[in-house]
Structure 1
């Protein structure tokens, strides 16, 4: 079967209409590529037209359909215009929103190990205007369409910060605050999932890439989201944080180099006893709830 015929099959089977924010590089780009390969029409957003067009070109090379839209996720008027465009062009249909845009990485690195009162309070805006606030507005406009059609999937790209304390207060609020949407959307047939990817190259600054160079590929989150969207029991997964390593086990996906629930991996991260990981079977997994122990969050 040729790649073009395979794409046409997926287009017929899974012709979703999708929006992926922050899709010009890193995980967002990988998600857009995987959704397009599954036959979706993907609206991708970012602040730089050049990098958006590069991602769109890659999608086209793979036989997908991508619509790049310059949109700053910290600006409500641009977000509103984006979803009005989708509603008009797709006759009110939207199947999937991936809230990925984020602009706080540098602020996190600049303020590591500092308490919230030791940092300029403006860091809240840096961490959450493009992230939490932008996600909220995108979700509101997406929900208008999804609730009307009685179905849809909203994915928030999250992290361990959705389970326990991580980095700082403003970062943690941004990751933990979005789960309540699932409660209000559930009775309307719309699923809301927070996805925790493993370490993956962020798509900028080489010193960060070196930290993540042994992690999963930037497209693996996209593969997980494709499987989520196809899952007939998807509503059972609405609300909590889902890890890519969990979804890898659920759907039989192969890509993850690091399983954050593996007892072997967790022991390898503990000083003085890391040598024990050599003797720990790789199939033993720790319940996800235990990852939040000691955080004081639950």
Structure 2
């Protein structure tokens, strides 16, 4: 089973909308080396894992694959924030929803000149399961050979390429919203490089001075430097509620990507940060609610809140 905690895994720093930056970030979501691919690849490797004696490796895959779900949530929400808000829209919530362009405004005109037009034409200013040029995400990206060493080697290549691309995306825009998310993912990709490298070390691979890939001067990226100081590049999460994960048998000892004695550490999950829901976009007719629909939603919410007061139990009573 998987559980959803309604907290974002990392803070998204607010800044001005930037459809061009959102489109660059689409590569990190739905591209061949993006977060949708890592999520699906590691989880399918976990689902298909064979050999009870290899449980620590399966548990490591499960932990990273589950974290990747939160990365998909983080990067998709960031894209939505970067596309959120048409600069020329001057309407208000109490105006008729079918008149977003009242008084001569052309609220979605920037869709014709910036970023990916589908963000506003198809997605109502939200993320899409595509790459930066609009190609749809494909399940054929997922690599799952069934051979543990091959899968781990491929996963390390995937994390390294994803980290390389995120470093390039960081260099493309100074937008704080984009950089807050990309910086976090650069550091977590390094943590996953360490995890797969450590697993391969336990199977006989000697990395020497190869990692991390790509090598970066953290001082060039102040947001990355802050996260490195917190040790996030040497930490891995189990996301395991029943404390049966054996991933710590693999993810332990000195860090493969450090040469000054840094130690790898395990934890159940990060604390996360609170996050809300994006405001309405009348020019997109999103969510397109009238007063009667809002009343129905409020009534449903009250029912759900009443049910939420009941104690939660996991498994048989």
TM-score, L = length of structure 1: 0.33
TM-score, L = length of structure 2: 0.31
Larger Rg: 2
More strand by share: 1
